[in-house]
Amino acid sequence: MASLENEKEDERIRQAFKERDWNEIKSADSWSIFKIMSEFVDGFEKLAKIGPCVSIFGSARTPRDHEYYKIAEEVAAKLVRHGYGVITGGGPGIMEAGNKGAHSEGGKSVGLNIVLPFEQFNNIYIDRDKLMTFDYFFVRKVLFIRYAQGFVVLPGGFGTLDELFEALTLIQTNKIGRFPIVLVGKSYWGGLIDWIKQTLIEENKYAKPEDLDLFWLVDDATEAVKVIDDFYSKYLLSPNF
């Protein structure tokens, strides 16, 4: 099995260096453009009227008996009780926990699934009319951010970090308005935050000290939801605005 995967990877690398004529390039790129457009259009149409939601991120590999799975489920349930819907990546692990918590309270449960060679399959707790499956990560990330009033980020891997730093970058550069980003799990995120503070900010000046104010660090579901409620209460907004 590993040998077959290696052969496929070798072939992809060879193809990347293969010269293509203009007709091949035009045909392949034109098809990609239409596929990308169709994913955006479908996503915009389905999500435009879902109302205020919070995106929940975290590892697809988190088992159901893990503490973080239970926290994600509780966060989602509390968010629904406070008037929000929940958006996840639609898969297993933390994503499943988020959809399960929203579903258990009768709230909006959205799943933005992605086609992957491993791990990803949609969970059963997503509203049937709010399940979408994408080929392109960047289309999916646009929808995560465009239709969320906040992010709750539980421990995860490269995909979770990608989504977290995408949101932080867009807020830091004023490409989108600020919304609350809540990291759950002080023991998990503490090392990364120390590195950002010491190496990124203090030693190299690659970010500003105030950039640390772009996110909150908490340890439980109640704290996570309180951050989001408090953030919007400052602007006299409630989830049904």
Same domain as 23, residue 109:
no
- Alpha-carbon distance 93 to 153, whole Å? 13
Same domain as 116, residue 176:
yes
Q: What's the rounded mean pLDDT across residues 66-91?
A: 97
The pTM assigned to this predicted structure is: 0.86
- Alpha-carbon distance 168 to 62, whole Å? 24
CATH of the domain at 183: 3.40.50.450
Instruction: Residue 16: give the domain boundaries.
Output: 1-49
| pLDDT-wise least confident of 28-37, 70-79, 139-148 | 28-37
Task: Note whether residue 241 is domain-resident.
Answer: no
Select from 166, 165, 127 the least CA-distant residue to 47: 127
- Alpha-carbon distance 67 to 166, whole Å? 26
Question: Where residue 69 falls among pLDDT bands split at 50, 70, 90?
Answer: very high
Instruction: Give the containing element (helix H, strand E) for 1.
Output: none
Exposure class string for 110-132: b at 16+ Cβ within 10 A, else e: bbbbbeeeeebebbebbbeebbb
Question: What is the pLDDT, as a whole number, of residue 32?
Answer: 85
Task: Note whether residue 56 is domain-resident.
Answer: yes
Instruction: Count up the domains in the chain and report the number.
Output: 2
Share of residues in the chain with pLDDT > 70 (%): 84
pLDDT in tens, 101-114: 999 999 999 999 99
pLDDT in tens, 2-36: 566 666 666 665 665 566 665 665 566 778 888 99
In contact, 103 and 80? CB cutoff 8 Å: no
